[in-house]
Amino acid sequence: MNYSIAEVNNIVQGKLLNITDAQAARLFVSGIDFDSRQIQAGDLFLPIADHDNVSVHNLFADYTIAEKDGHNFIQAAMQKGAVASLADHEIATELPLILVSDTQLALWRLAQDYLQGINPKTIAVTGSNGKTTTKDLIASLLSMKFQVHKTHASYNNEIGVPMTILKMPAATQVLVIEMGMDRPGQLTALSKLVNEDIAVITMIGEAHIAFFKTRAKIADAKMEITAGLKENGVFIYNGDEPLLRERSHAINSRKLTFGEQEGNSFQVTDIQEDARLIFKVNQRRHAVQLLGKFNADNCAAAIAVAKEFSFSDELIQKGFDHLELTADRLQQLVGSKGETIISDVYNSNPTAALKALDILKDFPANGKKILVLGDMLELGKREVDLHLLLKDPLEHDAFDRVYLVGTVMKHLADQIEAQWYPSDSLNELIIDLQSYLSENDVVLLKASHGIHLEKVERALI
């Protein structure tokens, strides 16, 4: 981004403090960040305020934006080289301030202006599972022909999406945005901000069922991604999911489907796992370095997008060959003892966990197969029953040892042969794993991010 402070002030409808109008017109902002530790020289600092009953466009009356008030870090941002800061109240500082009523709303206004100025083709991706992988797949394919910018890490919420937009290089031709949600209304707002050319829904699962109660209501919330879809846009969704097929009738935009059932626009067949995932889409063979047969559907979604940009099958395969995945999503790593680590520690729900178990069962190994499962969060009143869905698959003899972590996993540990650890006993788990693992073993780490199995991953490496 390349705005003068005066231009930023005009866009966010603010008031300048600690700087004259003439100075503000000459001093330019080169970037933006809400983390004072990440501020670079020339950046604009965005303090996110922890005020109850404040959120983007007043969408959620009870949504707390952040754990801390970022205004407390304005001085730290200045020391790191920030040229100015947004603020929702006056602060004792020498740093130029842009005073606004709501810093997050200011972020959205700035992102909207910047997006309109760059004007890339926009692709929005959501789904209960697979949205990050699908986002990575789409970006990899389209980067064979275009300058592509995609969502980094987990920047998929009300702060992450506008931040992704503002970190987009000026030469970007295609923007691939991942959108997450845990409440009604979130995807409506995010979709209207991005105003996407293509909207993609990977699948409907149990993620966030604590908030939505039923899969049908989750499907309703996921369909909000079409709220900002352009009139001439395309809606691409999993045609094997009846909940999406039913709701698609209300969408006037052009629609394409993917999945394994006959009748899909992009039908997946002949799925095999060898050194790579091999499959056919509409009888065209493709291969990609991914774990899990279910990822063939995510590849089909990416192919559907690529075909909208007139990609040949050969160019699509080239994109698959250059795939770079976001960390902590079914990432294959090598441990310090030479063991294979399959790390999927960012999020978990019953559907994703069952798919991960299948991956470990089928994974070729000359040594032992070890499973580490942590609590699946945000499952509400049914959390115990949903964890117990794993009981029968875990009694499969494919696993040499099972380690369970967390309060809810204790219910499962009581019914199967497994070692259990409280979530605050990761060091003990690490010691036990290190003493048990050896070369040629395979260990799968799977849990919701709140269990922090990434600490186990780092220790094993």
340 is annotated as contributing to ligand binding: no
Sequence letter at residue 192: K
On whether 127 is known to bind a ligand per the annotation, the reply is yes
| CA–CA separation, 300 and 271 (whole Å) | 12
Q: CA angle at residue 116 from 25 to 145, to 5 degrees?
A: 120
Flag whether 195 is marked binding.
no
Query: Is 103 annotated as a binding-site member?
Result: no
Give which of 408, 376, 450 is closest to 205, Cα–Cα. Answer: 376
Query: Which residue, 55, 52, 5, 60, is CA-closest to 28?
Result: 5
β-bridge mates for residue 394, sequence order: none
Amino acid identity of residue 448, one-letter, is S
CA distance 243 to 206: 13
What is the secondary structure of 422-455 as a DSSP string? -TT-HHHHHHHHHHH--TT-EEEEE--GGG-THH
Query: What's the CA gap between 217 and 209, in Å, rounded?
Result: 9
Q: Is 133 annotated as a binding residue?
A: yes
Length of the chain: 461
Neighbours of 262 (CB within 10 A): 8
Q: Output the six-digit token pair for 329.
A: 């999503």
Tell whether 130 is in a known binding site.
yes
> Which class for 75: exposed (0-12), middle (13-18), buried (19 or more C-beta within 10 A)?
middle
- Does an H or E element contain 245, and which? helix 242-248
128 is in an annotated binding site: yes
**Bridge partners of residue 86, in order along the sequence:** 98
Annotated binding site for ATP: 127-133
Annotated binding site: 127-133
